Structure formats: structure tokens, C-alpha cells
Amino acid sequence: MKTLPIESEKRTVVAEAQTGLPDDSLTLESAQEQYKKLQSFIKSQMRVGRDFGIIPGCKKPSLWKPGAEKLLNFHGLGCRLEASSGTVVDWNAPFFNYEYRAVAFRQRTGASVAESFGSCNSKEDKYRYNWVYENKVPRGLKKEDLEWKEKDARGGGKYKVYRIENNDLYSLVNTLQKMAQKRALIGTALIACRASDSFTMDLDEEEAPKVAEGPASANPPPSGSNVAVISKKDWTDLVDAAKRLNIPEPNLKTYIANKFDYITVKDAENGDFPDFAKLRVADLPVVLKWIKGGS
């Protein structure tokens, strides 16, 4: 069984699927039929922002845990998580590295069909550091010695956020464990369900770096630019996600119009999709966070 390291910082290794699947040797027609069924299931049952996410610059969407569980269930598979010997817990350092093995198995027979290892550790940038506003930099730290970056402010202009060490790693233990389990499960689902052609596992919504959320950019995408905007299906998925949490569509539109200056209140009043077609793909996570009550 071969293993392939995915990243040096977060050790996610994926094992090749074992040859226990019932369709080891497929005819061309059977392979085409299986592929069509999978694509039909993805199109009809999986939703952006809930089962997978769109990452600007990536050719394929990123599979999330709910989507991975759906794919496994669709194929009649269960998944077993086991702690791995790669786990390191040092409360004094402090340093935490959690590693799990996820094994996909047939629910009818219990036969294992694929496995993957996923890990998460406290040295990853998203956990080791926090990004804060200039007025939140702790006393004793010189801003000129810190890494910083500029962000667009509402109404024009720029503001800075600074990177500081996270001194509360102990409170992240459960998060690190869950993230390692999630990475293992998603890797296994991609192999067992043969879904790597449709999804990647580059990022999860919870893995986004901790950047202090500032005012939205005030500048609309330049005419003829390559700024990615949402599709009509993305908009429908946003509206559906809001309705599931009892947020009326007009409220969603008003929030977007107030949050992003390149969409006007008049757009919200008109209410048709074309008025929101300029919503940028990069701003989808902000809207989803608001829908889920995060801001």
C-alpha cells in the first residue's frame, strides 16, 4: 500500500484504494454509467456553501465534511476513524499534532475499500498566529517588527492588520482533533467514491486564516476584468441556505447591498438575480458566515 504526502506542514497522506471494490474491472459502458450517476448526484443533491466550497483560483471546488458524508452514504459506505501513532501531545511546549486514520467500508459486508490519514497541528499558521487590527497589537510588541498586510476599506483607502503569536493554543485542542478527523474523512471519501475528478480537498471553510474582518472593498470589479463572480446556481444555493435558517430572501439581499458597496440598495429592491450577478466569488464566505450567524 503506497502513501503520498500531500503537504509538508499538515501531514495528510492518502492511501491508494484497496482492490476490494466489486467493479475492479469495468467495461467502458459501465464506467460511463457510474460516472454519470455520480455527476447527477453531485448536481442534484450537493450544494455550494454546505457540501463544498469554491476557492478563487482553483479549478475544482473543495469538498467539505457534509459533502464527503453524502458521497459515502450514496455509495453505501461507512467510515471508521482511528487515532494514529503520529499523534504528539506536549502540554509544556505547547505543541499538539493529532493524526487520524479514516477507513471506508461497505455497510453490507464490512469490507474495507479505502483509507486515508489526516493530521492537524498547532504550528500551522492558521492556529499559530492571529491577525489583529493596529489598535489591538499588544503592548510591548513593535509594529515595525511584525508581519502585516493591507486590506481595502469600505469607501476607499487601506488599513493594516498585523500578525501576532496565538498565546492560547490550549483552547484549540478540540479544534485540532476535529480538523484532523475531517481531513482524514474527506481524503478517504475522495478515494472510495472516485470523486477526485470533481473535487479537491485544498481548503475547508473553517481553515481560512484568522484575519480580522474589516470593511468590504468599495471598488466594483473593473469592466472586462478577470474578477470571478457567482453563477445563478450559486445565488440559488445562497437563498436556499438562508431560508433553511429562517432568513427571508429580502433580508439576504439587503445585507449584501449594505455589506458590499459595489452592489447597491437599488439592486436589492429590484431583487432579480442579474442585479446580484456581480457578487464576487471571493465574498461568498463572508455572506455564508453571516447566514450562519457568525457576524
Residue type, 215: P
- Of residues 2, 39, 72, 7, the one with CA closest to residue 202: 7
pTM score of the predicted model = 0.62
Q: CA 241 to CA 77: how far, in whole Å?
A: 27
The conformation of residue 200, written as its DSSP 8-state character, comes to B
Q: CA 268 to CA 281: how far, in whole Å?
A: 18
Amino acid 152: pLDDT: 76
Q: CA 42 to CA 157: how far, in whole Å?
A: 42
**Widest pairwise Cα distance in the chain:** 68
Q: Where are the alpha helices (DSSP H) in the chain?
A: 28-45, 65-74, 125-128, 173-192, 232-244, 249-259, 265-270, 284-291
Q: CA 15 to CA 44: how far, in whole Å?
A: 29
Q: Give me the DSSP letters along 127-157.
A: HHEEEEEGGGSPTT--GGGS-EEEEEPTTS-
Q: CA 184 to CA 100: how far, in whole Å?
A: 6
123 and 95 Cβ atoms separated by less than 8 Å: yes
Return the bridge partners of 48, or none.
Answer: 52
Amino acid 218: pLDDT: 33
Q: CA 30 to CA 101: how far, in whole Å?
A: 31
Please enumerate, as own/partner, the contacts of 78-87 that have beta carbons within 8 Å and a separation of 24 or more. 78/104, 78/105, 78/106, 78/107, 79/103, 79/104, 79/105, 79/185, 79/188, 79/189, 80/105, 81/181, 81/184, 81/185, 84/117, 84/119, 86/11, 86/117, 86/119
Cell of 97: 499534532
Amino acid 217: pLDDT: 37
Q: CA 111 to CA 76: how far, in whole Å?
A: 12
* Separation of first and last alpha carbons in the chain: 45
The conformation of residue 206, written as its DSSP 8-state character, comes to G
Amino acid 203: pLDDT: 63
Cell of 144: 515595525
Cβ count near 103 (within 10 Å): 19
Question: Residue-wise pLDDT tens for the chain (295 aa)?
Answer: 444 443 434 444 444 344 344 445 678 888 889 889 999 999 899 988 889 887 766 778 899 999 999 999 999 999 999 999 999 999 999 999 999 999 999 999 999 999 999 999 999 999 999 988 888 899 999 999 999 998 877 666 788 899 999 999 999 999 999 999 999 999 999 999 999 999 988 766 554 333 333 333 333 344 444 456 777 777 788 888 888 787 888 788 777 777 776 665 554 455 555 556 677 777 888 888 888 774 4
